[in-house]
C-alpha cells in the first residue's frame, strides 16, 4: 500500500536530512521512528545552537558583568522571547522555564493550588488525562479536602462537553485538561470549557504537551489562565519545559522552590521574592537547554505550524486507513483525522502490546506500548495496555507502510493470522 499526496504540506525528505539519527539502521533494518509523542528527535540546528553556546558563550546567567555572562544572559532572554511569540503572548515575563510540563503542572498544584484552593472547592479534569495532569490534582484534593470531578469521554473518543454544565458549580475553582490526548489523539476545543469555567470564576489550565509541537497555538485567543508544554516533544532538548501564566496570577502565586536568583533581597530579617518569571526559577537555570528550545522554535516557525499540522493530518489519515484494514485490529479515538493529533493507538487481537512492540523493533519500527502514563483512561477503555504509533514532521507514508508490514509479520510469527 502506498500513499499519493498531490501537494505535500512539507518536504519531508529534505527535513529528514536535518535529523542524522534517522539515517541509522536498527536490527539491520532502516529505522522507522514512530514514537515522537513520547519524545521527538532533534535537528542539527538545535544541536549546533547548544554546542555553539557551550563553546563560545558559556557562563552563568544573571550573575556576571563580564562579556561571557552577558552574552549567555542575552541568548537566554532571547529564547524566552521566541517562545512567548511562538504561543502568542507579547509578554516574555509570563513564560516560566521548568524542567518539563510535568514540573509545570506540579508547580501549579503546589503554588496556585495550595495558596488559593480551600476545603470544599472543586477541581475538574477529564478522563483523557496523562498522569502529569491527574496525580498532582488528586494529591492536592486529598490534602485539602477538595472534590475532584471528571469530564467523561464519548464512545468516539471526544469529550462529552454536554456533561460540563452539570459538573461546573459555583464551587468550581480550577479546570485542567489536555489540549490533545497523548493516547486517543483527541483534540479538544478550549473555547467552551474556558467560557464555562470563567463564568463561575474558575481558572483554566491547558496541558499543551501534544499541541504546542504540532499545531498553531495562541494563548491569548484561547484565553486560558495557564498553558504548559515540554521542549523535548517539539525538537528541543530534555530538561526544559514551559509554564505560561497570566501575569496577575503569576504575581499572586508564592514561589515553588526557593534559593538563588528567585529572590530580590534576603537577610537575617527576611526575604523578598524576585519579579516574575524569575520568582519561579530558583538556582542556575537550564539556559543552554532554553537556547536549544529557542532554536527548535525557530526551526518550526520556518516550516510554519499550519504546514506542520497539515502534514500530520495527511499522515494520520493514511495511517488510520491502512491500519483499519488489518484483521483483528481495534483502533481507539476519533476516526476523523481532523479531530485528532498525530497519533494512532490500537490493539491487535490476542497479542499483548509489549510483545507486538518487541516484534516490531526487530523490523526497525519503534512504537510505544503500555498505558502511556494514562492508566485511568485505559481503565475507561476496558484495556490494560495499547500500542501507539505517533508521527511528526519527519514521518513518511512509506514508514506507515513499514509499520503495517511489521504488524502483519508479527501476527504470522505469533500464529494469530
Catalytic residues: 373
Q: Which 3 state secondary structure label does DSSP give 124? A: strand
Which cell numbers hold the place of 15? 527535513
- The tally of CA atoms less than 13 A away on the side-chain side of residue 326 is 27
Q: In terms of DSSP bridges, do strands 263-267 and 270-273 run parallel, antiparallel, or are they unpaired?
A: antiparallel
* DSSP conformation letters of 293-351: HHHHHHHHHHH-HHHHHHHHHHHHHHHHHHHHTSTTEEEES-S-GGGB-SEEEEEETTB
Alpha-carbon gap, residue 176 to 381, rounded angstroms:
21
In 3D space, the residue among 37, 78, 75, 97 whose CA is nearest the CA of residue 316 turns out to be 37
Query: In whole angstroms, what is the distance from residue 265 CA to residue 9 CA?
Result: 52
Distance CA 230, CA 179 (A): 13
CA 344 to chain centre: 16
Tell me how many degrees the CA angle 83-88-90 measures, rounded to the nearest 5.
80
Give how far the C-alpha of residue 112 lies from the chain's centroid of Cα atoms, to the nearest Å: 21
Is the separation of the CB atoms in 121 and 149 below 8 Å?
A: no
How far apart CA 299 and CA 305 sit, in angstroms, is: 10
In angstroms, the CA 209 to CA 183 distance is 12
Note the Cα 27 to chain centre separation in Å: 30
Backbone angles phi, psi at 112, to 5 degrees: -70, -50
Which residue shows C-alpha cell 490534602? 143
Amino acid at each position: 500500500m502506498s500513499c499519493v499526496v498531490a501537494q505535500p504540506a512539507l518536504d519531508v525528505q529534505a527535513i529528514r536530512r536535518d535529523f542524522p539519527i534517522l539515517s541509522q539502521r536498527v536490527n539491520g533494518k532502516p529505522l522507522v521512528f514512530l514514537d515522537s509523542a513520547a519524545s521527538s528527535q532533534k535537528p542539527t540546528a538545535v544541536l549546533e545552537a547548544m554546542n555553539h553556546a557551550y563553546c563560545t558563550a558559556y557562563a552563568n546567567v544573571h550573575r556576571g558583568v563580564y562579556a561571557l555572562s552577558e552574552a549567555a544572559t542575552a541568548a537566554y532572554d532571547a529564547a524566552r522571547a521566541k517562545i512567548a511569540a511562538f504561543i502568542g503572548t507579547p509578554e516574555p515575563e509570563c513564560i516560566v522555564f521548568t524542567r518539563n510540563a510535568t514540573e509545570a503542572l506540579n508547580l501549579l498544584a503546589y503554588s496556585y493550588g495550595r495558596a488559593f484552593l480551600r476545603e470544599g472547592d472543586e477541581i475538574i479534569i477529564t478522563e483523557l488525562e496523562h498522569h502529569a495532569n491527574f496525580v498532582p490534582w488528586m494529591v492536592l484534593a486529598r490534602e485539602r479536602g477538595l472534590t475532584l470531578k471528571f469530564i467523561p469521554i464519548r464512545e468516539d473518543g471526544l469529550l462529552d462537553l454536554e456533561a460540563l454544565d452539570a459538573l461546573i458549580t459555583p464551587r468550581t475553582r480550577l479546570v485542567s485538561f489536555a489540549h490533545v490526548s497523548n493516547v486517543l489523539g483527541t483534540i479538544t476545543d478550549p473555547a467552551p470549557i474556558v467560557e464555562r469555567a470563567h463564568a463561575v470564576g474558575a481558572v483554566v489550565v491547558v496541558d499543551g504537551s501534544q499541541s504546542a509541537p504540532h499545531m498553531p497555538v495562541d494563548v491569548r485567543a484561547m484565553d486560558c489562565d495557564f498553558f504548559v508544554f515540554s521542549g523535548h516533544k517539539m525538537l528541543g532538548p530534555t530538561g526544559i519545559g514551559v509554564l505560561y501564566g497570566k501575569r496577575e496570577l503569576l504575581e499572586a502565586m508564592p514561589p515553588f522552590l526557593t534559593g538563588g536568583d528567585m529572590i530580590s533581597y534576603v537577610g537575617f530579617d527576611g526575604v523578598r521574592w524576585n519579579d516574575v518569571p524569575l520568582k519561579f526559577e530558583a538556582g542556575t537555570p537550564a539556559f543552554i537547554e532554553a537556547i536549544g528550545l529557542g532554536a527548535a522554535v525557530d526551526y518550526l516557525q520556518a516550516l510554519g505550524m499550519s504546514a506542520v499540522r497539515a502534514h500530520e493530518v495527511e499522515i494520520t489519515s493514511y495511517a488510520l486507513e491502512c491500519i483499519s484494514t488489518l484483521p483483528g485490529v481495534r483502533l481507539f479515538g476519533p476516526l476523523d483525522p481532523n479531530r485528532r493529533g498525530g497519533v494512532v493507538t490500537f490493539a491487535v487481537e490476542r497479542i499483548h502490546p509489549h510483545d507486538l512492540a518487541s516484534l516490531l523493533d526487530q523490523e526497525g519500527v519503534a512504537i510505544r506500548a503500555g498505558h502511556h502514563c494514562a492508566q485511568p483512561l485505559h481503565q475507561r477503555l476496558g484495556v490494560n495496555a495499547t500500542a501507539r504509533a505517533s508521527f511528526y514532521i519527519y514521518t513518511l507514508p512509506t514508514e506507515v507502510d513499514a509499520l503495517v508490514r511489521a504488524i502483519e509479520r508479527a501476527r504470522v510469527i505469533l500464529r494469530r493470522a
